[in-house]
Chains A and B, each alone.
Chain A
């Protein structure tokens, strides 16, 4: 069993309280960083660890920190993005509910590294219990002298605030989050300037996911090089995966990056296979916005290599036959699930959550939703599939923020991999509303790779 870094003490009773967390070695990274390291050394350590952003894009965290502009006399901010609302992802909520002090500890260390005097945790409005838990944890930490003025006698001051959001998915996009945090309508800003130059209140800002910030704690405790030994290639460390769908044991699992996908899905240590003895049909590997993959392509890449749970291996094959790590929202579909209905459901979500600022996303998501609704309820046409692919292409890459891409990819990939199921919904319209298509015939064997001479 692999070593846990984030969830090591998750089963200790009372770990959500300061005293128990402290007795298990908590806040050691704050002590180490503030007493023995300079802020630049902390950034250097995170850079060495190769930690990549856990929110979805996978941008190296250390690099992001070193891009932060440091003009004289201007405040800098660290904002924790806890607006977790991707369908299928629930790792941050789990972390904040059961081990809130890990996030607080990471926030203190990261704020120290960036020189932020005020830091914010932007929590999604629906997560009211988590907001209360975090506020209690902050009060406890402040009581123990880990927050406030002159932390541990180092002369470093930090105030930490929890800000509830309104519950919009778009506010998980970093610039929309900053707008919302400033009290405005959560519309993504047009970049450049990037938040590292002009973010919150026009000051340099770093926005990081909850898990990225929590991962700073083991990095500082054990050293960046030690952390980088876990994992494979450029995907270092451990990652929380929130497994859901038709698996035997859904839940949040901490895996070493580079774990074979087959082991993650079928071993008893993790998901434990598909529930009720059914067969795997498709997998959404990293939250609803990543391309969906049929079972065969999920377990093996197009080059017949075993697929690993790492940033590179999941992206192997590009958008044609690969997917993305995303935010780690792992959804497995068994043979009784309808891909058309699922795609419609995802699109309905993006239609509802589109901010309405730029035209391709505003109009395109609604259009795709209506076409998919028509297909699902047996009123579709054969031309609808090509229409959907075309509309998704017109959205992808033409929008201000990545929500347009996130809405386009699931549709395009579902049609690419499950086209016969979509066509069956048109040809057998009356049957399609009463029963599901079942397992795709092409799921086995693996398609042959075309060779170019």
Chain B
């Protein structure tokens, strides 16, 4: 039993209960809505940032009425015969541009001194969807930097309140030390006055943070990410929940930092423990699996010269089929 959904004219059969965003990810390519708060590995995440808004032009086969408002694709499940417009709808493009502008209203735009620059999702998002200039002419909210334990630093000024780290604290750790204080644009991620997140998996809040609000203190200001060389490696971690598969970020012979392996959407494949992340910074600790593939679109690839030409035919069989359909339709017209 599978349901058929059409996203921007590309049809795909998916399992019932799949969200529109995940259906779009199965198709792949340009039609995948961007997501700043949704994280497939974290239950209940999503629906907050509103960048993944799409237009449902046909509700389902049974009830073909369009949905009255744009819907958050990460939290809306597909119905049989649903037709979704993402980049083909000017309304969606306009709304997304507005959302990006809203996200940047209180974001400091200190990319030149931010450690996340180069791998920041907000940077990518505003580059792709945002306006060139901001119309916001007021002071932005600022916060003092807060240390969460001795390895993680929280700089709330940059936070876009995606709640991902809150979900990590809720779902990965045994005690909830992480939450939101206050409301509106003065709400802040807090550990209740520097109460340390003391847990073997607390370091994952760094990986899930889409911006530079949560950073690794062992890596801060060591290097720009595009001067480092990512290498995949693993080790036999004795923590029962950690499988020790990581990415090492080298500068010369030195391991500057260790992160979990991330997929094409910037989401970690598996969460790693703090021992792997913070304490094992020698090559001898690791078994090297090989260089990490970096997308040619990413700035991280700029210093590596392993340029991969644009794929003419993508590997996804569904997409190849859909491309054919689209080609036929266009040539017919």
A397–B69 Cα gap in the complex (Å)? 6
Query: Does chain B have a CB within 8 A of A365?
Result: yes
Check A358–B48 contact: CB distance below 8 A.
yes
Interface hits, A334-378 → B, CB 8 Å: 351-360, 362-367, 370
Is A387 in the interface zone, CB < 8 Å from B?
yes
B 123-162 to A, binary, CB cutoff 8 A, 1 in contact else 0:
0000000000001101000000000000000000000110
What CA separation (Å) do A185 and B183 show in the bound complex?
Answer: 10
Q: Which residues of A contact B101 (CB under 8 A)?
A: 394
CB closest residue in chain A, given B185: A366
Given A354-B185, A398-B98, answer yes or no on A360-B106 (Cβ-Cβ < 8 Å): no
Instruction: Mark A431-447 against chain B: 1 for CB-CB distance below 8 A, else 0.
Output: 00000000000000000
Residues in B whose Cβ lies below 8 Å from that of A185? 179-180
Decide yes or no whether B105 CB sits under 8 A from chain A: yes
Residue A66 at the chain B interface, CB threshold 8 Å? no
A22 to B183, CA, bound (A): 44
- Judge whether A356 and B70 touch: CB under 8 Å: no
Contacts of A354 in B (CB 8 A): 183-185
Q: Is A97 an interface residue, CB under 8 A from the partner?
A: no
Distance (Å) between the CB of B327 and the closest chain A CB? 34
Q: A398-B98, A400-B47 are in contact. Are A356 and B184 (CB under 8 A)?
A: yes
Complex: chain B residue closest to A186, CB-CB: B183
CB within 8 Å for A400 and B106 given contacts A355-B184, A359-B161, A366-B184: no
In the complex, are the beta carbons of B160 and A359 less than 8 A apart? yes
Q: Does A168 count as interface, using CB distance less than 8 angstroms?
A: yes
Q: A170-B183, A356-B182 are in contact. Are A363 and B69 (CB under 8 A)?
A: no
Would you call the interface of chain A mostly helix, strand, loop, or mixed? Answer: helix
In the complex, what distance in Å separates the CA atom of A365 from the CA atom of B161? 16
Task: Please indicate the chain B residues that have their CB under 8 angstroms from the CB of A353 in the complex.
Answer: 183-184
Q: Identify which of A190, A356, A394, A400 contacts B185 (C-beta below 8 A).
A: A356
Docked Cα-Cα span, A400 to B48, in Å, equals 7
Chain A contributes a number of interface residues (CB within 8 A of B) equal to 28
Q: In the complex the two chains form, what is the Cα distance from A206 to B135 in whole Å?
A: 43
Query: Assuming the A-B contacts A190-B72, A367-B136, A397-B69, are A362 and B184 also in contact, with contact meaning beta carbons closer than 8 angstroms in the complex?
Result: yes
- Which residues of chain B are near A357, meaning CB under 8 Å? 48, 161, 163
A350 and chain B: residue at smallest CB distance = B184
Q: Is residue A17 within 8 Å, beta carbon to beta carbon, of the partner chain?
A: no
Distance, CA A362 to CA B179, complexed state (A): 17
Q: Which residues of B contact A360 (CB under 8 A)?
A: 50, 98-99, 102
- Residues of B with C-beta under 8 A to A221: none
On whether the beta carbons of B183 and A398 are closer than 8 Å, the reply is no
B121 at the interface (CB under 8 A from A): no
Residue B3 interfacial (CB < 8 Å):
no
Which residues on A sit within 8 Å (CB–CB) of B183?
168, 170, 353-356
A364: B residues at CB distance < 8 A: 102, 105
Bound form: Cα–Cα A184–B255 in Å: 42
The chain A residue sitting closest to B46, CB to CB, is: A190
- Is B223 positioned at the interface, with any CB of A under 8 Å from its CB? no
Name the residue of chain A whose CB is nearest to the CB of B101.
A394
Q: Is B53 an interface residue (CB 8 A)?
A: yes
Assess whether B49 is interfacial by the CB under 8 Å rule: yes
- Interface set, chain A 379-434, CB cutoff 8 A to B: 387, 393-394, 397-400
Q: Which residues of A contact B187 (CB under 8 A)?
A: 355-356, 362
| A51 CB to nearest chain B CB (Å) | 24
Contacts of B185 in A (CB 8 A): 351, 354, 356, 362-363, 365-366
> Known: A168-B183, A354-B184, A398-B98. Contact between A363 and B106, CB under 8 A?
yes
Contacts of A363 in B (CB 8 A): 102-103, 105-106, 185
Interface centre among A352, A358, A364, A370 (most CB of B within 10 A): A358
Chain B residues with Cβ below 8 Å from A170 are 183
Interface string of A207-247 (1 = CB under 8 A from B): 00000000000000000000000000000000000000000
Question: Which residues of B are found within 8 Å of A362, using beta-carbon distances?
Answer: 102, 161, 184-185, 187
Question: In the assembled complex, how far is the CB of residue B202 from the closest CB belonging to chain A, in whole angstroms?
Answer: 21
On whether A370 and B138 interact (CB within 8 A), knowing A363-B102, A364-B102, the answer reads yes
CB neighbours of A358 from chain B (8 A):
47-50
A398 and B184 contacting across the interface, CB-CB below 8 Å? no
A residues within 8 A CB of B135?
Answer: 387
How far, in Å, is A78 (CB) from chain B's closest CB? 26
- Across the interface, A394 reaches (CB within 8 A) one of B69, B98, B180, namely B98
- Is B75 an interface residue, CB under 8 A from the partner? yes
From A170, A351, A355, A363, residue with most partner B Cβ within 10 Å? A363
* Chain B residues proximal to chain A, CB less than 8 Å: 46-50, 53, 69-70, 72, 75, 95, 98-99, 101-103, 105-106, 135-136, 138, 160-161, 163, 179-180, 182-187
Which A positions have Cβ atoms within 8 angstroms of B? Answer: 168, 170, 185, 190, 351-360, 362-367, 370, 387, 393-394, 397-400
**Given A170-B183, A185-B180, 19 extra CB contacts under 8 A:** A352-B184, A355-B183, A355-B187, A356-B161, A356-B180, A356-B184, A357-B161, A359-B48, A360-B102, A363-B185, A365-B184, A365-B185, A367-B138, A387-B135, A394-B99, A394-B101, A398-B50, A398-B53, A400-B72
